[in-house]
Structure 1
Amino acid sequence: MKRTSRDIRRGNRNEVLRHVIASSPVSRQELAAVTGLSLATVANLVGELLDRGVLVEVGYEDSEGGRPRGLIAMRAGGGALIGVDVGELRVDVELFDLELRTLDRAVEPLTSDDLQPEQVVRRIVSGVRTVLERARIAPSLVLGVGVSMLGLVEREGSLSVYAPNWNWHDVRLRELLAARLEFPIYLDSQLMASTVAELWFGAARGCQDVVVVTLGKGVGAGIAIGGTLYRGATNTAGEWGHSLLELDGRACKCGAMGCVETYVGAPGIIKTLRDIDPDSPMLLEDCFDTIDALARALSKGDPVAVETVRRTARYLGVAVGSLINLLNPQVIVLSNWVATRLADALLSGMREAIAEHALPRPLESTRIMLCPIPNNPVSLGAATFALEGALAWVRP
Structure 2
Amino acid sequence: MKRTSRDIRTANRYAVLRHLIAKSPASRGELAEATGLSQATVATLVGELTALGLLVEVGFEESAGGRPRSLVAVDAAGGALVGVDVAETYVHAELFDLALGVVARAEEELRPGESAPEDVVGRIAAAVGAVVAAARRPPRVLGVGVTMPGQVDRERGVAVRAANWGWRDVPLTALLGERLPYPVHLDNPLRAATVAELWFGAARGRDDAVVINLGTGVGAGLALGGTLHRGVTNSAGEWGHTTLVLDGRPCRCGDTGCVEAYVGAPAIMRTLRELAPDSPLLTDEDQTATIGALGRAAAGGDPVALRVVRETARHLGAAVADLVNLLNPEVIVLSSWVAAALGAPLLTEVREAVERHALGSPFAATEIVLSPIPTDPVSLGAATFALEGVLSSPGLTGTTLTPHTT
What is residue 362 of structure 2 aligned with on the other side? 362
1:113: Cα distance to partner?
A: 4.1
Output aligned runs, 1:321-336, within 5 Å: 321-336=321-336
1:2: Cα distance to partner?
A: 5.2
1:143 aligns with 2:142: yes
* Counterparts in 2 of 1:114 and 1:260: CA distance versus 1, 3 Å: closer
Taking structure 1 as the reference length, the TM-score comes to 0.93
What is residue 371 of structure 1 aligned with on the other side? 371
In structure 2, distance between residues paired with 1:343 and 1:371: 10
* Counterparts in 2 of 1:274 and 1:131: CA distance versus 1, 3 Å: closer
**Structure 1 gap ranges (5+):** none
Output aligned runs, 1:270-289, within 5 Å: 270-286=269-285, 287-289=287-289
1:146: Cα distance to partner?
A: 0.9
The alignment's C-alpha RMSD in Å is 2.1
* Amino acid in structure 2 at the alignment position of 1:337: W
Secondary structure in 2 matching 1:135: coil
1:115: Cα distance to partner?
A: 2.8
1:53: Cα distance to partner?
A: 2.0
In structure 2, distance between residues paired with 1:161 and 1:290: 31
In structure 1, distance between residues paired with 2:13 and 2:209: 20
Q: Deviations over 1:145-171 (max 9, x none)?
A: 111112222212211122233222221
* Counterparts in 2 of 1:352 and 1:136: CA distance versus 1, 3 Å: closer
Q: Deviations over 1:37-91 (max 9, x none)?
A: 4434433332322232211111111234332121110011221111112222222
In structure 2, distance between residues paired with 1:21 and 1:362: 33
* Counterparts in 2 of 1:261 and 1:114: CA distance versus 1, 3 Å: closer
**Structure 2 gap ranges (5+):** 398-406
Output aligned runs, 1:153-192, within 5 Å: 153-192=152-191
Q: Deviations over 1:85-119 (max 9, x none)?
A: 22222222221111111222222222224332212
What is residue 63 of structure 1 aligned with on the other side? 63
In structure 2, distance between residues paired with 1:168 and 1:299: 38
Moved more, 17-26 or 271-280: 271-280
Secondary structure in 2 matching 1:103: strand
Cα pair 2:164 2:253 within 8 Å, conserved: no
Moved more, 274-283 or 49-58: 274-283
Q: Deviations over 1:183-231 (max 9, x none)?
A: 1110111222111111222222222222110001110001112332211
What is residue 10 of structure 1 aligned with on the other side? 10
* Amino acid in structure 2 at the alignment position of 1:199: L
In structure 1, distance between residues paired with 2:225 and 2:392: 20
What is residue 307 of structure 2 aligned with on the other side? 307
* Counterparts in 2 of 1:314 and 1:5: CA distance versus 1, 3 Å: farther
In structure 1, distance between residues paired with 2:250 and 2:304: 24
In structure 1, distance between residues paired with 2:66 and 2:13: 27
What is residue 33 of structure 2 aligned with on the other side? 33
What is residue 249 of structure 1 aligned with on the other side? 248
In structure 2, distance between residues paired with 1:298 and 1:305: 5
* Amino acid in structure 2 at the alignment position of 1:378: V
In structure 2, distance between residues paired with 1:326 and 1:377: 25
What is residue 107 of structure 1 aligned with on the other side? 107
